[in-house]
């Protein structure tokens, strides 16, 4: 966060001023649930924490949440904890406007849960618990946060089911490509299949259809799942 009256929170080309944060409505429980579910899924997949915070910051629309995530990204780079950063950012904003006290009241229990999880090495479990406390269907809230269409969610669920059953990824994609109702999805899947047949990984093939297949979040998750040899588990967590 910059100093002076023109202070801003910024990351990956996105900038939100302190003034914009302070006039924004506090985050809704549904968006909080989606954010915490996304953070948990990314951490559990093995995505590095700085990339986790960057991806989440790019995904949220509420200025308060972007401010917290962008500042946490900068603070973690300096060796600080995520929960400590969340608290210090709210403290800084409280000096600017009383509305920050309302946001603190909303977030404080979940920041403390995250702090406990971070200190015990179970940050993903803590964030998942936060998501489930906030909403009975945090997976749907994450899909809303990421602007996933119903057809894309259905595709992920089918792909996860195939992987749970041990179906090879290439054969799974071929079946899904033939059965896809949407012409654009069939075209993208055909390109991914061609890339895999040429020796690329699933995540590398998805980059060519970045705008269609869930964007940077899904690509990061697929890449982490491939690197860890647990793509089936990553997909399962993503859709459940």
Per the rule left: phi > 0, alpha: psi between -120 and 50, beta: everything else, 30 is alpha
Residue 14's pLDDT band, with cuts at 50, 70 and 90, is: confident
Is 5 a residue whose pLDDT tops 50?
A: no
Q: How far apart are CA 221 and CA 215, in angstroms?
A: 10
Give the pLDDT band (50/70/90) at residue 1. Answer: very low
Give the Å distances, CA to CA, from 25 to 4, 18, 196, 205.
Answer: 23, 13, 45, 39
C-alpha 16/C-alpha 84 separation (Å) is 21
150-239 folds as Receptor-associated Protein (1.20.81)
Q: What is the pLDDT of residues 112-134, one digit of tens each?
A: 999 999 999 999 999 999 999 99
DSSP bridge partners of 17: 8
Fold agreement (8-138, 150-239): yes
Q: Which CATH number fits domain 8-138: 1.50.10.10, 1.20.81.30, 1.10.760.10, 1.20.1440.230?
A: 1.20.81.30
pLDDT tens across 24-36, in order? 888 999 999 999 9
Which of 235, 234, 188 shows the shortest CA–CA distance to 45?
234
- Neighbour count for residue 181 (Cβ, 10 Å): 8
pLDDT digits (tens, 9 = 90+) for 63-90: 999 999 999 999 999 999 999 999 999 8
> Using CA atoms, how far apart are residues 38 and 192, in angstroms rounded to an integer?
25
pLDDT digits (tens, 9 = 90+) for 172-209: 999 999 998 888 889 989 999 999 999 999 999 998 77
Across the chain, what does the average pLDDT equal? 90
Residue 95: strand, helix, or coil: coil
- Domain boundary assignment for the chain: 8-138, 150-239
């Amino acid at each position: 966060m910059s100093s002076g009256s023109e202070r801003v929170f910024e990351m990956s080309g996105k900038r939100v001023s302190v003034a914009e944060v302070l006039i924004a409505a506090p985050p809704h429980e549904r968006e909080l649930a989606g954010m915490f579910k996304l953070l948990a899924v990314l951490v559990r997949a093995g995505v590095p924490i700085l990339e986790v915070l960057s991806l989440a910051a790019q995904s949220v629309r509420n200025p308060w949440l972007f401010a917290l995530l962008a500042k946490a990204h900068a603070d973690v780079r300096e060796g600080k904890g995520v929960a400590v950063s969340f608290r210090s950012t709210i403290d800084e904003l409280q000096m600017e406007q009383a509305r920050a006290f309302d946001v603190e009241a909303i977030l404080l229990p979940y920041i403390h849960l995250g702090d406990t999880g971070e200190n015990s090495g179970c940050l993903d479990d803590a964030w998942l618990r936060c998501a489930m406390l906030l909403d009975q269907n945090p997976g749907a809230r994450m899909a809303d946060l990421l602007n996933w269409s119903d057809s894309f969610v259905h595709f992920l669920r089918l792909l996860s089911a195939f992987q749970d059953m041990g179906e090879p990824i290439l054969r799974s994609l071929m079946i899904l490509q033939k059965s896809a109702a949407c012409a654009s999805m069939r075209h993208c899947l055909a390109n991914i299949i061609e890339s895999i047949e040429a020796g690329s990984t699933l995540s590398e093939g998805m980059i060519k259809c970045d705008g269609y297949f869930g964007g940077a979040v899904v690509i990061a998750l697929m890449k982490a799942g491939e690197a860890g040899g647990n793509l089936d588990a990553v997909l399962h967590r993503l859709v459940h």
